[in-house]
Amino acid sequence: MEWTIETILNLLHTTNDGRCVLADGKKNNGYLSDDAQNLITQLLINHLLQDQSKGTDFFFRKISELIVEVFPKEQKSVYFIPSKTEGQHQAHAKGKLIERWKNVARKLRLAGAISCERKKTADTQATTSSLPNCSEEVKSAIHWLQTDGLNFSNLNIIKEKWLITYEVRKYDIFESNEQSISDIFLKWPIFQNSKGYELVLEDFKIGNLKTA
C-alpha cells in the first residue's frame, strides 16, 4: 500500500486516537502537544505494522513529511532524523517514529508475531544484489544517496556519488525484469526531490558519453 496524505487524514478522522490528535491541534492553534505527538506516532506505526509495510528510513522520512503536510506547524525532525553515515560524527536514525517502531517491533518479535525489526538497508541490498560484482564503494554510495544525500545541498558531491552508481541504476531501469517504476523510486528516492530532474539529465549525459 502506498501512503499518501489521504492515508493520514483517514486515520485521523476515523479513529478515536486520530480525533484526539485533531482536537489537540485545534486547541493549540495548529501545534501538537507531546502527548498528541506520541499518539499520532502510535497510530501511524500501528497502521504501518498492520499494513505489513517495511520499516525503512525512506518510509519513515515519507511519513514525517506527510505529518507536516497535515500539521504545518510540526517539525519533521521530531518524528524522524535520518542516519548520518559519513564523517566523524556518525549517528543512527532517530525520532518518535523510529523509537515507537523499535519498541512495538521488539514486542511483536518476542511474541513471535514478526520475524525481524526495521530493515533499514533492505533497499540497498535489493539494488546491489541485482548487479554482479558490486564493489563496497558502490554499495556505500547507494546507501549515502538513500540517506544522507537526501538532505545534502552540495550538488557536485551528489553527482560524484551518482556517477559511481550509474551502472547499478542502468541495470535496474533497463535490464532487470523485476523492477517496476515504483520500485525504482523506492530504491532511488532522490529522484523525487528538487534535484531529481538534474540527476535524470546527468544519467543521460553519462549514458551518451559511454556510447560515444
- Which residues have a Cβ under 8 Å from the Cβ of 7 and sit 6 or more positions away? 1, 47, 66
**Residue 118 belongs to a domain:** no
- pLDDT single digits (tens) 131-149: 556 788 888 888 888 887 7
**Residue 130 belongs to a domain:** no
Verify that 102 and 44 share a domain, yes or no: yes
Verify that 144 and 64 share a domain, yes or no: no
**Residue 83 belongs to a domain:** yes
Confidence of residue 190 (pLDDT cuts 50, 70, 90): confident
Domain boundary among 76, 111, 146: 111
* Structural domain that includes position 43: 5-111
- Which residues have a Cβ under 8 Å from the Cβ of 77 and sit 6 or more positions away? 95
**Residue 126 belongs to a domain:** no
What single letter denotes the amino acid at residue 11? L
Verify that 89 and 22 share a domain, yes or no: yes
Verify that 10 and 106 share a domain, yes or no: yes
**Residue 97 belongs to a domain:** yes
Res 197 pLDDT > 60: yes
**Residue 121 belongs to a domain:** no
Verify that 13 and 88 share a domain, yes or no: yes
Q: Determine contact, residues 56/118, Cβ cutoff 8 Å.
A: yes
- What are the C-alpha distances in Å from 8 to residues 13, 52, 55, 63? 9, 16, 17, 9
- Residue 117, SS3? coil
- Residue 152, SS3? coil
- The domain tally of the chain equals 2
**Residue 131 belongs to a domain:** no
**Residue 20 belongs to a domain:** yes
Pairwise pLDDT comparison (158 vs 105), residue with the higher score: 158
Verify that 141 and 89 share a domain, yes or no: no
- What are the C-alpha distances in Å from 207 to residues 70, 143, 155, 160? 40, 22, 19, 15
Backbone angles phi and psi of 34, in degrees to 5: -60, -40
CA 30/CA 20 separation, integer angstroms: 13
Average pLDDT over residues 171-196: 74
Q: Is the dihedral of CA 173, 174, 176, 180 positive or negative?
A: positive
Verify that 96 and 144 share a domain, yes or no: no
Verify that 48 and 101 share a domain, yes or no: yes
Domain boundary among 111, 127, 152: 111
- DSSP code, position 196: H
Highest mean pLDDT among 20-24, 123-127, 138-142, 208-212: 20-24
pTM: 0.58
**pLDDT of 26:** 95
Res 125 pLDDT > 70: no
